[in-house]
Amino acid sequence: MAESHNSVHNSVHEEIKAIHYENQDNLDNKGNPIILKTESEESLHKPTEESPIKASIKEAEQTKPKSIYGAIFSMTMLSIGTGCLTFTKKVIMLGFVWFGVLLIISGLAIYWTLVGLIRVARKKGDSEYSSTVRKILGKGPAVLVDVMAALYSWGIIIAFEVIINSLIGRVLYTFFIDKNIYQTFAIYEKEKWDAIKIRAIVLVSLNVLLFPLCLAKDIGKMKFFSIFGIIALAYTVLVLIIECPFFWSHYLKNVYVKEDKSTHANWIDITRAFNSNLDFFTAFCTILYSYANHQGAFPIERSLHTNDDKLMSIVFRRSTILTLFIYFVIYVSSFLTTPLQSDDLIIFRESIFSNDIFMNISQIAIILELFFLVPGNFNSMRCSVFHIIFGNEEVKTIPNIILSSSTLILTGLIGGAYRNILNYISLLGGFCCTTICFLIPGWMMLKVEWNEMTKIVKILTFIGISILCIIGYIGGIQSVIAFFK
């Protein structure tokens, strides 16, 4: 039976072999059959002249129609937050024009290092920031990234609580305080709201409410509040845009005097920013804080399911342009609202209306937004801390309780003792964001792509990263000094 099977197999093999040699002229170099096509068929299959970038975008849009636009939107929303509401003071110091220039330069720098970071991560076959750093630079820099990420998230929580505390006071003043006793909020804040006892009560109550939310291991159910935060910020920007012409008219009629330069808005004088407070450097840190999105870019990059670097660059470029446009709208409307002097946040400005209900609604919405953003930022901090201590991000009950309670207690103490919001933001931008967005990505780009770079590219990359880091760290150091003034 076996011999019969083998003889049949051999005869069939010989027939196939004979056919193969008879049709050698119809085979290509690899032994594959050549399929002849008519001219009409060739014209139908002739590739159209389309750029590789457009072709990749078209393919991605056909397979995942909403992925590209969803990624652009997600990247934009990842950057935009309450930091952009602190622009006004820095605009006044730098000058309207020069702040815009710095905004553009910072956006280009963020885009450059973000694309480079994702590119080197792909070359190393990784899709996480910390693990990419560990593969390329080693354990020390990877731990540094985790520490900076933890400090960044914690600093945001402190800043949020300080803002919430101030906004609660303003809302209470608007609706419940007798204006005959306290004519302005500044008077009320100085004589009543700023008292240590009041601050302690507010912050303790706030952290008691936040404690169970911060303990939650799964914050996926709180995605609704992220959407609410986007709506609250969009509404606030809309109110600023609508109201700024009234504020500008009020300034021209009641404040501006042609002969008195102290009443003139600062359009182009950047010399004010190079003062003892180093406002130019802290302004850069504030803008950097508002743009920073390097760690959050990795999940968005994975969601596209593509290895096309050019397509990823397009997503980052369009999101940067969209972010820049939104920031221009905010800083222009904020400057026109308060061209001479401003509070830490534009939504703190004194109203010129007898009833500013639209801004009051915005203040309440921002309170709710920040309150429900705290657990998300705490979760980011917790992941970084657990990764440093335990080597993984698994949330264990006892460590989670200890970390949550101790963090909120320290947050309340620090937030109650020091309330300069701008200083918190410039400090985070100066140290955490400079390290995460410039120092580490630049270092990895030089190390991984050194042999691929031309001499001039090596020099420009090194100089560019060095300048960005120097400006950022000077701003961070100045923010530390300001804490003790």
Q: How is the chain split into domains, by residue range?
A: 66-483
Name the residue type at position 8: V
Whether the per-residue pLDDT at 61 is higher than 50: the answer is: no
The residue-averaged pLDDT of 9-33 equals 45
DSSP assignments along 218-274, one per residue: --GGGHHHHHHHHHHHHHHHHHHHHHHHHHHHHHHHHT--TT-GGGS--SS--GGGS
Tell me if 304 sits within 8 A of 73, measured CB to CB. no
Instruction: Compute the distance between CA of residue 106 and CA of residue 19 in angstroms, rounded to an integer.
Output: 69
Average pLDDT over residues 402-422: 91
Amino acid letter for position 390: F
Please give the model's pTM, rounded to 2 decimal places.
0.82
Mean pLDDT of 94-100: 96
Whether pLDDT at 230 is above 90: no
**According to the model, what pLDDT value does residue 205 have?**
92
Measured between alpha carbons, how far is 294 from 415 in angstroms, rounded to an integer? 27
pLDDT bin (cut points 50, 70, 90) of residue 47 is: very low
Above 50 in pLDDT, residue 2?
Answer: no
Residue spans of alpha helices (H) in 23-81:
39-45, 52-63, 67-79
Is the pLDDT at 40 greater than 60? The verdict is: no
> Is it the case that residue 402 has pLDDT exceeding 70?
yes
Task: Tell me what pLDDT residue 220 has.
Answer: 66
* Residue 98, pLDDT score: 96
Domain boundaries 66-483, CATH class:
mainly alpha
Output the CA torsion 261→266→268→270 (10° steps).
Answer: 100
User: pLDDT confidence of 222, banded at 50, 70, 90?
Assistant: low
